[in-house]
Structure 1
Amino acid sequence: MTQGTNEEEDLREFVKFSAAVTGFSEFDLWGTGQAEAYYKTVVEQERPDVIQRALTSDPSATSADPVVKSIIKLWYVGVWYGPELAGRMDVAAWTAPGRSGAKPAVPDDSRPGEESGHGMDERKPLFVVSPEAYTEGLLWRAIGAHPSGAKAPGYGSWANPPVFENFHEEKVS
């Protein structure tokens, strides 16, 4: 992301920044197996100066930055929402495209030959990064659930209330 550094170092910096803005540890983010795919997605979709500005800013003050919002959503749901969609999240568009008449808010394909505002013809405003991105989304850990039909405990697991991993009730004496 910065000139003169290597991709491995940039990937580590990306994960470090992502940990700060998602609220999950670097260990948790590496554990998703999606760090490299997400890093490459951001690099392919945004200009280097835009990425650099986002990654070098104070994480607590970046929630208004559309690229940072896109990175956060990427980690949570496995979908790249381009900055033009940063303020919007159409859940039906990524949870069940085609089901119950739900259609994505933005087409999955870029319009060939049409220039985006960033000078990149191949930029896509909304797409799922990888098949594993859905099941590895931080969303599931955050709500204490499993992606329906994709991970253990399996069929019928949604009938039970979620269990939060690091939740400890305080005992009042």
Structure 2
Amino acid sequence: MSDDRTAADDPYGPWGPAEEDELADLDEFLRVSAELTGFDVPELRATGMADEHHRTTLAHRVRDEHALVHLWYVGAWPGEAPSSARAHDHGLVWRTFRASPPGAAAPGHGSWAAAPAGAAPFGGSPSEGAPFGGSPSEGAPFGGEQR
């Protein structure tokens, strides 16, 4: 290939061969990942996914910053399934939202029957006949009348 090639012609994408070699080192991979994701290296290591995400990244010859961020937040390389269920469950997206991935952690039998901690019941004070208090029409879906 000639030296006057454009960025679109570069098979390495935004990371040239020198940067690709640097990412072969786990510590450098984590440093770059921390810079891109906004999480520091200890936080990335705490996900338990550093080695798996590093292997996933090295398996892709063409890399870009967006793909690396996507991998950390969602647990999958763009356009692919997550490398494991664990990768999805430990994605940074859940830490960002301070939530648990659906179905990843059992909340306990009957936990759905009570309002979340700190949440006011529908309609204020509890009353009989309504799921979380208030009158039956106040507990209706979308604030409408029960049908």
Give the shorter-chain TM-score range: 0.5 to 0.7
d(CA) in 1 for partners of 2:116 and 2:88? 21
Change over 3 Å in CA distance of 1:13–1:6 after alignment to 2: closer
Please state if 1:14 is matched with 2:29.
yes
Deviation at 1:149, TM superposition (A): 2.1
Deviation at 1:152, TM superposition (A): 6.1
Q: Quick check: which one's helix share is greater?
A: 1
Q: What is residue 160 of structure 1 aligned with on the other side?
A: 116
Deviation per residue, 1:53-98 (Å, 9 max, x gap): xxxxxxxxxxxxxx110100110010110xxxxxxxxxxxxxxxxx
d(CA) in 2 for partners of 1:15 and 1:34? 11
Q: Unaligned regions of 5+ residues in structure 1, if any?
A: 52-66, 82-124, 162-173
Instruction: Give secondary structure in 1 for the equivalent of 2:59.
Output: helix
Q: TM-score, normalised to structure 2's length?
A: 0.56
The amino acid of 2:88's aligned partner reads: Y
Q: What is residue 38 of structure 1 aligned with on the other side?
A: 53
RMSD: 2.7
Kept in 2: contact 1:77–1:134 (CA 8 A): yes
Kept in 2: contact 1:22–1:75 (CA 8 A): yes
Change over 3 Å in CA distance of 1:35–1:150 after alignment to 2: same
Q: Looking at CA atoms only, which structure, 1 or 2, has the larger radius of gyration?
A: 2
Q: What is residue 39 of structure 2 aligned with on the other side?
A: 24
Higher relative contact order (CA 8 A, sep 6+): 1
Q: How many residues get paired? A: 96
